[in-house]
Amino acid sequence: MQEGLVTALLWLLFGGTHVGLTMPPLRRRMSNALGEAGFVVLYSVIAIATFAALVHYVALHRWDEPQAALLVTIPPVRGALFGLSVAGFSLFIAAVLVYPRLPMATFRHRVTPVRGIQQITRHPFFSGIAIWAAAHSLLAPSQVTFVFFIGVVALAFVGAIHQDRRLIAELGEPYRAYVAATSFWPLVAVLTKRQRIRWREQPWLAYGVGIGASLGLYQVHDHIFDHGGVYVIGVVSLGSILAIVSSRFRAG
């Protein structure tokens, strides 16, 4: 029980700073004092440090307080959850690759016509990681890993809502219309006829890279959290930095 509680508290530290620092009043004050680039650097350092602490703790205690997941014993269900995991992680990777084109890209807040991946979901990063984590939470072998993956789902959903509200306040009616025409969960806007998929506009290379990364990750799945979670910390931190740098470069 203690390890699960500590994991939840570390999630609150990471999630609280991750969302709290972007609250408009605080963000404005910090950006005025540090400049936009300075704020992004400080925000990134805090995010990486708190995320590293969370992942390191989970890596050290991931086998503590074991719990049997009934779904693991049902092959069709396990297969479906594996498929959802691959789809979610592939969407997440594709989102990182196309991130500079999205309205919420750092340094580049502007609304453009809905294209490509945005026709499927306006938040491919958040929705992809939420789907991946939800599938993993149902297969979690311990309380620590269950809390960890549920935390990922919660942060992704709350983060998307917070980001939408912030951009509506910043960009006004154009972003409000963008939200109305798109969806958080993949394909919901398409199914409700608010959006349609234009296949030629889809980032097929990004999807391919995402699927390849997902299948490659599966091959080393049992060792991802080895060495205190250094692999997870390194990959996520590097990916975040590259996305920010790419966005800054495209913003001119």
Spell out the domain ranges in the chain. Answer: 2-251
**DSSP classification of residue 68:** -
Q: How far apart are CA 41 and CA 235, in angstroms?
A: 18
pLDDT in tens, 141-157: 888 999 999 999 998 99
Q: State the sign of the Cα–Cα–Cα–Cα dihedral 212, 243, 116, 133.
A: positive
Burial status of residue 10 (CB atoms within 10 A of its CB: 0-12, 13-18, 19 or more): buried
Position 40, amino acid: V
Q: Can you give the length of the chain in residues?
A: 252
Name the average pLDDT for the chain. 87
pLDDT of residue 1: 59
Element (H, E) at 227: helix 226-251
pLDDT of residue 252: 52
pLDDT in tens, 86-115: 999 999 999 988 887 888 776 666 788 899
Which of these ranges, 52-56, 62-66, 189-193, has the smallest mean pLDDT?
62-66
* Helix residue ranges per DSSP H, 138-187: 143-171, 173-181
Both tokens of 252, joined, read 């001119």
pLDDT in tens, 167-185: 898 889 999 999 999 999 9
Across 206-232, average pLDDT: 88
Q: State the sign of the Cα–Cα–Cα–Cα dihedral 47, 169, 134, 127.
A: negative
pTM of the model: 0.83
